[in-house]
Amino acid sequence: MPLTWFFVLLIISWRTKEESKKRRIRIAAILLILVFSNRVIFDRTMRIWEINAVEEPKEGTFDALIVLGGLSSYDPQLDRIQFSRGADRLLQAIELWKKGVAKKIIFTGGSGSILHDDILESDKIREYLKKIGIPDSVMIYENKSRNTHENAALIKVLLKKHSLNGKYLLITSAFHMRRAMACFTKEGISATPYSVDRYSGPWKLEFDYLFLPSAETLSDWNTLLHEWVGCITYKFRGYI
């Protein structure tokens, strides 16, 4: 996380006795925070990384829409599901289903929590979709997976179980699509990527976009750097 690096450099500078070295470290810390809070730099980097969205498929093109979880959390105090910006994955899938692009939606997501592994995302999504009128006959749920690798591995089992041996549309956030596609390919599942929830934006000649530091951009870098670390880890573990 860039903010962590910034504070680490400041601490190092405070512990450094040589004034010239102390000044160089502090300048490096300031430059780091300016670079990672600049929206232009982030947008250009994310545009290279994100998988471009394909055109909206035509009616009857696919047998199933595969939606990756990690788009919600559960509020036990209010006993209700809460959605993050990744909910675009589910909303786009529902729209495509309503347009007849596919007859089935497969939602995959268990618990990514070590402390609360009894709260399964797929189960909460099932309750929510039933409340808003999406019939169970449309949906197939996978609630055991804890990460993208397990998403793909367990979806492979479900596809065989439900005899879905056709064409699949994989729906996840654009920044996550590279890792997701690699995992599904590794499991022998041929799917067409459908990127949603894009972070990269259009080029703008606006002063705040070009020059002003943005706290939101620092947070967005955390998302991208986390994804890069995930890809490296998956490569070493043989998941992709």
Report the range of poorest mean pLDDT among 92-96, 112-116, 142-146, 191-195. 112-116
Structure confidence by residue, pLDDT tens digits, 12-42:
999 998 999 999 999 999 999 999 999 999 9
Tally of structural domains, the chain: 2
> At 82, which helix (H) or strand (E)?
strand 80-83
- For residue 180, the domain's CATH number is 3.40.50.620
pLDDT at 54: 82
Question: Same domain, yes or no, for 20 and 104?
Answer: no
Residue 158 domain flag: yes
Spatial contact of 158 and 124, defined as CB atoms under 8 Å apart: no
pLDDT at 105: 98
Question: Same domain, yes or no, for 208 and 182?
Answer: no
56: pLDDT confidence band, cut at 50, 70 and 90?
A: confident
Residue 100 domain flag: yes
Report the range of poorest mean pLDDT among 113-122, 173-182, 197-206. 113-122
> At 169, which helix (H) or strand (E)?
strand 168-173
184 exposure class (CB count in 10 Å sphere: 0-12, 13-18, 19+): buried
Residue type, 158: L
Question: Same domain, yes or no, for 110 and 36?
Answer: no
pLDDT at 117: 74
Question: Same domain, yes or no, for 94 and 190?
Answer: yes
- CA distance linking residue 217 with residue 195, whole number of Å: 21
Spatial contact of 227 and 193, defined as CB atoms under 8 Å apart: no
Global pTM? 0.92
From residue 198, how far is each of 47, 121, 129, 175, 176 by CA, in Å?
9, 22, 24, 7, 10
Question: Same domain, yes or no, for 75 and 188?
Answer: yes
Question: Same domain, yes or no, for 161 and 205?
Answer: no
**pLDDT above 80 for 45:** yes
Residue 58 domain flag: no
